[in-house]
Amino acid sequence: MTDQRMFWLVWNPMGQSPTFQHWTQEAADREATRLALAYPGSRFYVLCAERCIEKNETRVTELAPQEDCPNMPF
């Protein structure tokens, strides 16, 4: 199970997808500021994840055995 708290990401449209979760807006703001200073002219957006939507369903269907299909060990 993943953490169920809100988190923030720092995103640059010209960069890679963000993967680091900041647990406070202040921490994300600090990182965006650090990156903006390191890469003048680039924009860094602070994004907040406010909800997660997931479909998680597994269905198992037992199949009828066939006479010509022996029980295989795999």
pTM of the model: 0.69
Output the six-digit token pair for 41.
Answer: 């002219």
One digit per residue, the tens of pLDDT, for the chain of length 74 reads 456 889 999 999 999 999 999 999 999 999 999 999 999 999 999 999 988 888 889 888 888 777 766 665 55
